[in-house]
Structure 1
Amino acid sequence: MAGGARYCLPTVATFAVSLLFLLVLDLPTTHSLSSGNDPVFFPSFTNVANGTNVVLLKDAGVGQGALQITPDTLTQISQLANKSGRVLLPKPFKLWEDVPATDGTNATTTYVASFNTTFTINIYRPNGTTPGEGFAFVIVPSLDAPPPGSEGRYLGLTNASLDGDPSNHLVAVELDTVKESFDPDDNHVGLDVNSVVSNVTANLTAFGIEIAPVNATNYTVWVDYDGAARHIRVYMSVAGKHKLSAPVLSAPLDLSDVVLQNSYFGFAASTGTTYQLNCVLAWNLTVEKLSDDDDGTPAWKLGVIIAAPVAFAALVVGLLVGLYMRRRKVSDDPSMLVAGTLKSLPGTPREFEFRELRKATNNFDEKMKLGQGGFGVVYRGVLQGENKEVAVKKFSRGSHGQDDFLKELTIINRLRHKHLVPLVGWCHNKGMLLLVYDYMPNGSLDQHLHGGRDRPLLSWERRYNIIAGVASALHYLHDEYDQRVVHRDLKTSNVMLDAGFNARLGDFGLARALDTDKTSYAEIELGGIPGTLGYIAPECFHTGKATRQSDVFGFGAVVLEVVCGRRPRCDVPGAQFLADWVWKLHGEGRILDAVDQRLAGPLDQGDAKRLLLLGLACSHPMPAERPKTDGIVQILSRSVAPPLVAPLRPAFVWPAGPIDEDENDDADHGTSRRLSRTSTSMSLSMTSSHYASSSGVTPKRLSREGPAGGHPIADV
C-alpha cells in the first residue's frame, strides 16, 4: 500500500494544480491588484522631455543622454560653481496609509510602502580639480525647486534657515564629497532626514569606493526600503559589477513619520566654491502599491479576499507534493539526514534559522570577522531581539565526512565545564554548517600575548590563572567526561578569554572522542597530521595518531608561550623551538631568564619556575614520560612539588614503545605497524628539534597562523 500511495501522489497533485488554475481564472479583474504602481525605467535619458517624463528644476538639465543635476558645461567653468538643482518624477507616489481596525474601535494601523531603486551615476571632477559638493537621491513633498541658498553644503535640499525643520518632509541618501564640520569625511554616504546633517553615515573608502575619482568612474547605487520592517539599505559598486551582499549603509527609517503621504522621488545636487558634474546615466524605480485610487478599497484587503481560495488550493498542492518530494528527498539528500540526526542528538542546544545568523552577523560582514582557521571562519554577531553577543563559526569542511562532523558535534553539545566555551546552538542550511558559541569579549589568548599595544599586557596572576583554567578543562576532557576526548589542536589561539579573563578552551573542530578502552585516534588515512606546527608532539609524525599524551605536549607548548611571551617557533639564536631555548637555560641554571621581560609588577619566582618546569615536563620528547592531567592540576594547585626535569633535553627515540601506559587497541597497533614499515628505527637528537622533517613523514594538514585571528604567514 505504501508503494501504491507514492505513485498516486503526482496524480492527486496534478488535480490540485488544475483546481488552482481554475480558481485563478475565476478571479474578478481588479486594476489595483494587477497593475500596482507602474515601474519607472530609464535605460538612458536621451529622449526625456521636461515636464513629461521628468521635471527639471533650477540648475538641472539633460545632456549627453544623462540627467545633469547641476550644469554640465565644460566650456564655461565659471558656470559650474555655487549651483543647485533637482530632477523629480512628475507623479507622486502614495508611501503610507492609515487603515482603520475592523473590530469597531477607532484604532488604525499604518502601512508603509516598500520600494527599490537602482541608478547609475558619474560624479566627474573637471580637469582633476577638487570635487564639491554632493549628490542625493531624494523623497520630497512637492515639485518645488530647491530653496534659495541651497548651494554648497545644502545639496539642493535645504538652506541655512530651513535645515532641520520637520516641515521639510524630506528624506535623502547623500553621496558627499566635501567634509563639513558636521561630516565624518569627504567620501561618505549618509541618510538625511529633514537636514543635511546625516542621521547615519558610512565611509565609502572602507568599501574601496571613491565617489569622484580623478579617473571618471560610473557607479551603480541600489536603495532598498522595506516598509514592513521600516528599514533602508544602500548598496554601491562599480557599474557592471554585481550588487554586493553587504550594504554600505543600513539604518532604521519610518517614512510615515517623515514624508507626506503622497511624495515625489528624484535627485538633488549642488556645487560650491569647488564643483563637480553630477550625472545620472540610468534609473529604475519600483514602488509598492498600497491601495486603489479609484474606489478607495485598500489593496491589501482586496488581496486577502481574492487570495483566500488560491491560498487554500496552494496549501493542498504544497502538502501533497511536499509529502511526495520529502519521501524521495530524505533518501536522496544526505544533508537532510544530517539535519534530522542533529535534531535527535541528546542535549542538543538551540537550532537557529539561517536568516537569524545572517542578520546577527550583518550578512557575515568582513568587519564582523573574529578569526579564520582551517575549519572555517568565525564571526561576531548579535542575536536580534535578545541583545546577546555570540560567535558564529561558519564551516568550510571540504571533503570532511558528515559522519565525522556528527561525531564531533555529539561531543561538543554534551560538554559542560566552566573552562570550555559553551555551545549555544547550531544551524544546517543547504549543506552549510554553522555553530553558535558564547561570545568571548576579550578575544583569544594569543592576541594578548602577541597582538600589539592595543591589547592590555596580561599580568602574572592572570597568566597563572589562565594556565590553571586550561589544565582544568583538559583534565575534564581526558578523565572526567564520560568519554575520553582528545582535543588535538591545543594552542593559544584556541584559548578564549571571557569578560573576567578566565580561560575558555574552544575550537573542537579537531576533537575526537575515544572509547574508554582506547587511547588514540588514528588520522593517517585521512591524509595528514592535524594540528599546528610547534604544538604537535614528535610521535604524531610517525604514528598519525592523536592521544591524550599528544594533547599534553600541546599544553606544554602553551605553558611556555604564556610564561615566556614567545611563540613555540621562536626566533631565539641557536634554537628553532621555544622548548629548546628554555631547556638550554634550565641546563645553565638560569631558567627564570626565560620569563617574559615585558611583565611589570610583582612576580612570584617560585611559581614562575614551577610553570617553566611543568612546561618542559609536558614537552618531553617521549610520550610516556609526560605527566598526566590529574598530576598537572595538582602541580598548578601547588599541592605537589614541581616536576623534576633533566638539565639536558632527552633524545627522541623511535619506536617509542607504548604511547600510553594502558594502550590496548588492536586497530591502533595495526596502524603503528603499518607506519613502522615506512619509517626506520632511529634516535634523533632534539637539540635543534628538527623532528618534523627527519621522520620521513611530511605533515599535510598543518595550519600556519599569524599573530591574531589566524592570518597566514610564510610556510616553514
Structure 2
Amino acid sequence: MGAPPTLRRLASAAATLLLLLLLLHLPTTILSQVVNTTATTNLTFSFPSFDKSEQFSNLTVVGDANINQGALQLTPDTQNSVEYLVNKSGRVLLNRPVILWQDHPAPSTNSTTTADAAGKRVASFNTTFSVNVYRVHNATPGEGFAFIIAPDLQKPTQSYAGFLGLTNATLNGNPNNHLVAVEFDTVKQPYDPDDNHVGLDINNVVSNATASLTPFGIEIAPLNATNYTIWIDYDGGDRHIWVYMAVQGQPKPSFTVLNFSLDLGAHVSQNSYFGFSASTGSDYQLNCILSWNLTVEDLSEGNNVGGGMAGWKLGVAIGVPVAAAVLVAGLLVFFYMRRRPVRDDPSVLMDKLKSLPGQPKEFMFDELRKATNNFDEKLKLGQGGFGMVYKGVLPGDNPGEKIEVAVKKFSRDNSKGGQDDFIHELSIINRLRHKHLVRLVGWCHKNGVLLLVYDYMPNGSLDHHLFCDADTPLLSWERRYNIIAGVASALHYLHNEYDQKVVHRDLKASNVMLDASFHARLGDFGLARAIDVDKTSYTERELAGVPGTMGYIAPECFHTGRATRESDVFAFGALVLETVCGRRPRCDVAGFQFLADWVWKLHRERRLLDAVDPRLAYAGDYVAEDVERFLLLGLACSLPTPAERPTTAGIVQIISRSVEPPAVPPFKPAFVWPAAVPMDEDGESSRLTSTVVTSSYYASSSGWTPRYISTVEHVEAGDMPNSIVVKNDQPGRGGD
C-alpha cells in the first residue's frame, strides 16, 4: 500500500519550501554561481547533409573519398568503371581536433566524467549518423566502413581491402597507431565471425569485440539499398561504449548491437580527430554517410566550471544550509518511500524469487563458468539482442552422470537495463509450465553477471533446419506439422491458460527450439511481458521503439508501440508460412519483400501448392490438404487488421482439423490506420479520418515516414475500389 495522499503532499511541499527559503536568503552573486556550477559544456557538430564546401571549411577528405550528391562518399561513387572501384580506401574527418582526455584534472563537481586512479579524466561523447551501403550491379559487397577516432588527418598507404582504411600490413596492431574504430564489415576474414558484423577495433583490424548483425535482422549491404541509423554512445566515466543500429526512421533501439569496456585515455591521442573511413578490395560497394551529428564533452581549459579552489569555497559557503535542507526533506521522503511498495526494486524482486515455491536452482558462477569452459566461443549456440547462449555440461545427481544445459549470458551485465531484462525473463519463465515451452533449470546472479540455465535442446532451433546446408537432413512434413502444432499450443497457453496473459513479442523460427524428438519448445522470453487479465496489450515502458524482429512485427506495432496477443498471432502467421515454404518472412522471391505477399498472389491464382518448400515437393513428402490448410491459416494470421486475425483458440482448432481453414480474401486487404474506424456524432463511420496504406509500408525495411511519400494513386478496379493508397518509394542511397 502506498503512502497516504496527505503524507505525499506534506513531503513534497516541505522539500519545496525548504529549498525556496534557502535560495531567498542567499546573496544574488551566490545564486548565480550555484546555477553556473550545474552547467556543462559540450562541443557539437551537426551535418544534416553534406555540401562540397564543407571540404574547405569543416571537413578534411583524404584518399579516395569525396563529397558528392549530399553525402560523404568514403569510397569512389561511380557505377561506370569497375576498375575504378576496386582496391580503394578513403577517410573523411573533422578538420579540428578534440581533447579526449586530461591528466590530473582539477576537482570538479559538475562533470559527467570521473577521474581514474591515475587522475586521468576522459571525455564522454555521443554520435548519430545515417548510412547507405550500396551494392553496385548487385555484386558481392566489400569491404566495409568504420567510425573512427584518429590521431591525425592522414591515411595509411595500402589500407584498402580488409584494412578498411584504418591500417596496413606494416602498421596493423601497432600501439602507436592511437586509433579506435567501430567497424561495419561486409567481408569475412579469418578473424571475423561472418560477413555482416560490427566490431570494435583498437589499433588493429582484428577486432577486440565483434557481434554478428544477422540475429538482429540487420544486413549492412542488402540487395535492396537500405538507409540505416547508427548511434554510438561513450561514457568517459564508466569507460564503456554502446553501439545501436536500426533502419532509418525507426527510434533508437533499447538493445545494443555491441557494447564493450573501452578506456579511450589508454589508447587515443589526447588531441584526436573524429570521422569515417572505408575501403574496397576485389569486391566493392558504395559507402555513403548521409548525415552526422556529434556531441563531445569539452575538456579544454576554462570549461571546468566550478572546479579548483573557488569552486571548493563556494561548496563550503552553501554546503551547510543545503545539507540541512536536504536532510530534513530527505527524512520526509525516506518515510514516504518506506511506505511505498517495493515490487519494482530488482534486488527485492530477486529476494522474492528465491523464496518462490518450486524456484529453479541457484547456481554458483564458477559452476557455470566451468560447465561452459569459461564461455568458450566454440560452445556458443546462438546470440540475440539480450545475450549469448552457450552449451554447458553439469554434473548430475548420480555418480558419473552428466547433464547438458544451455546457459544464457546477458549482454548488458552491468547495467540497470540488463538486470531488468534478467528479472523479467526469470519472473515469467519461473512459473510457466507447458510441454512445449523451454524449461528453466536454474539461474545465477553474481558480481553483476546475469545467467539463466535452460534444458539443452539437442536439435537446435527451427531456423537451422529450415535454412540449413545440403548436409543437414530434410525436415519432414510430419515434423513440420507437429512443430507448428506445438508452437500453437504453447502460444494458446501463454495467451489464455496461464493465470496472467503473457505476450511473447519475439516469436520467430530461431526462438523455436527442437528437443531430441524434434518436438517444439518455445523459448527466449527476453522480450516477453505479462499483462493484466482485463487488458489486451502491453504498452512499452522499458523498451524504446518497436520490439521484435523485422518480418515478424505486425504493422500496427509501428504506430502504437504496443505488443498484443494479436501481434503475437501475426508473428505466428509468419512462422507458419516460413515453415511450410522454407523461405524467410522477408522474402527472397523477386518482386516481393514479404513472404506473405507472394503466398497471397499464389492464393489468388489458385496455385497455393506452388509455395511449398521445393525440397518437400521434390521428395513428394507433404499432404496437399494440410499444406493448403496451413498456408490459409498463415495468411489469416497475416491480415493487416488485428481484429480480423484468428485467436489462438481458433488456431489450435484449425491445426487439429476440427474446423475448416479460415476464408481468406484473394487480395490482401490494405492496412488501415486507425484500425478501428472512428464514429461521428450521428453514429456513422467517418472514413475520411482513416489512412489506407499498402503492404509496402510495413514490408519496407526502412519503415514509413511522410517525407518518403512519392505517389498517391487509386487502386486498380477489382482490387480495393474507392480506396486511396499511399505508397512509399525506397529511400535513396545518397549518391548515384
TM-score (norm 1): 0.48
TM-score, with length taken from structure 2: 0.46
Which has the greater radius of gyration? 1
Higher RCO structure, 1 or 2 (CA under 8 Å, sep 6+): 2
